[in-house]
Amino acid sequence: MLSIIICSINSTYFAKVSANISETVGVAYEIIKIDNSTNRYSLAQAYNIGADKALYHYLLFMHEDVAFHTQGWGKALITLLQQPHVGLVGVSGAVYKSKYPSTWSMIPEEYYRINALQRWKDGRITKHIQKESDVAEYSPVAVIDGVFMAVRKEVWLQYKFNEEHLHGFHLYDTDTSLRIGQKYQVVVSHQILLEHFSEGNLSKDWIMESMAAHKRLNQWLPAATVVLTKNAQKTTDYHAASAFCFLLIRHNMFLLAVKFLFKSISMQPIHSQNKNLVIYFLKHFILMIKKLKLISL
């Protein structure tokens, strides 16, 4: 019934998640492992290769650094995918996606739709994050997180992962969510509890891919499944733009950071976060200048 496609780079993680799936899924399934330990494929290529091999009608593309905490989660997933208006199912996402090149989570948490356990690199206690899971079996969203993405095979055939534009391991979730969302409903299931062992890596490569993807997908942005007032949208966009600005500064991408610094301030001139943003920019810029002086000596 369920074909599970995993792009694997770590044999230990793959063995653990395979055992966990066997213990929890509750339906007939197959696991299709695409060995990418040598980075032979982009994620879009790996997922499309896996889907081509799938024997079953329902496809799940997922990371290997996860564990399911729900018994029989496969039944809940298939029941949801059997609804013809549903095109894509995740376990975390947001009802609003800004036009700015941020992650889906760089907005106020009130717009999250999620039921997940998240581990942290810095040793913080694993956090159970829940938004709307107490009031609905699933929630329509604008975008989902790529840790767990499920579709019917005919939907995948219409909207294969975008190999033409996505050559790495980023933005496949935003790209796929927005494209499928033009015809079908994209939803987050609140009946599947998944634990994720990593936080993702927002590298310089991610930044450049995100900017390119948001430019290409601009016709569909911003995207929302709830109605926002003008003020609410402006506030949410401010969060997205300022969070992206912090990320640019962290990577010493100061010319781009200046652009998003001014965008942020122009949206919310008296926001208390502006002071922190300017101070963060100046500290990092001065630190970079000092390092360059040391190198020149």
Which segment of 15-19, 119-123, 142-146, 262-266 scores lowest on mean pLDDT? 119-123
Which positions ≥6 away from 295 have C-beta within 8 Å? none
Nearest to 178 by CA among 145, 143, 150, 149: 143
Does the pTM surpass 0.85? The reply is yes
Cα angle, residue 74 at apex, residues 71 and 78 outer, rounded to 5°: 145
Nearest to 224 by CA among 147, 285, 142, 159: 142
Token readout for 249 is 């500064």
The answer to whether residues 233 and 222 touch, using CB atoms and an 8 Å cutoff, is yes
For 205-236, the pLDDT digits (tens) are: 999 999 999 999 999 999 999 999 999 999 99
For 2-21, the pLDDT digits (tens) are: 999 999 999 999 999 999 99
What domains, with CATH codes, occur in the chain?
Answer: 2-201 (3.90.550.10), 227-296 (no CATH)
3-state secondary structure at position 162: coil
The confidence score (pLDDT) of residue 297 equals 46
